[in-house]
Amino acid sequence: MQTAQNSPPIRVALVEDDVNFQNALMAAIGAAPDMTLLGVAGSRAQGLLMLDRVQADVLLVDLGLPDGSGIDVIRAAHARQPGCNIMVSTTFGDEVHVMQSLEAGASGYLLKDSAPQNMLDEIRSLHGGGSPISPLIARQILVRFRQDDKAAEPKPDKPATALSARELEVLEFITKGFTSNEIAGLMSVSHHTILTFVRRIYAKLEVNSKTEAIYEARNQGLLAQ
């Protein structure tokens, strides 16, 4: 019987276009004694080609790729490599992306609000038969199915949160991946002023992280999907 010490390393492949997130994951996986990184792709086209070259145990896929949707990669991986466990890692937390990803073959769905080291635990969980899902996504799925099962009457939509023009501008920069220092430079204000804007955005949207702010703003129609 194999033990954890003599089991073969978990073979991981990554489809991710965010260079900073990509590099952080690559470093974390490279330092993990029980994992090996087989390949990295930065686009939909590269991801599809990579499926012909490597046989991964776990495939991490971002959805917002520069040349299309990562869902196409998930669907292809599920068809070509049925033994591969697929996990989404993205900023998209709306119901459409979640359900399309799960229907395409993903077994896990994580928002990009976890440290790379925490992602390693999620990879191990997925490889071990689990289905890692961010709490925000899990709650959303549960609410959907509870409503379906009970045929509950639809509740009135939550009114859109009123963000000022400057707060919305900051939020749009955050969505594009800019840091608070970079946003301060682009808007010609101090770093302290940007942090104040961010605190106001979090308070108005009733969230605690950038990922939740982006999700809630998209859900309310304040940002494009």
CB atoms within 10 A of CB 218: 18
Q: How far apart are CA 110 and CA 120, in angstroms?
A: 12
Q: What element of type H or E holds 15?
A: strand 10-15
**Confidence at residue 217, expressed as pLDDT on a 0 to 100 scale:** 84
* Sequence-ordered strand ranges (E) for 44-166: 58-61, 64-65, 68-69, 85-90, 108-111
SS3 of residue 149 by DSSP: helix
**Confidence at residue 214, expressed as pLDDT on a 0 to 100 scale:** 84
**Chain mean pLDDT for the chain:** 85
CB atoms within 10 A of CB 169: 15
**Confidence at residue 62, expressed as pLDDT on a 0 to 100 scale:** 93
Q: Which residues contact 200 (CB under 8 A, 6 or more apart)?
A: 167
Q: How far apart are CA 91 and CA 213, in angstroms?
A: 10
**Confidence at residue 1, expressed as pLDDT on a 0 to 100 scale:** 37
Are 122 and 110 a contacting pair, CB within 8 Å?
A: yes
Q: How far apart are CA 110 and CA 60, in angstroms?
A: 10
> Which residue stretches of the chain have pLDDT < 70?
1-6, 140, 143-160, 224-225
Which pTM does this prediction carry? 0.64
Q: Domains (ranges, CATH) in the chain?
A: 10-148 (3.40.50.2300), 165-219 (1.10.10.10)
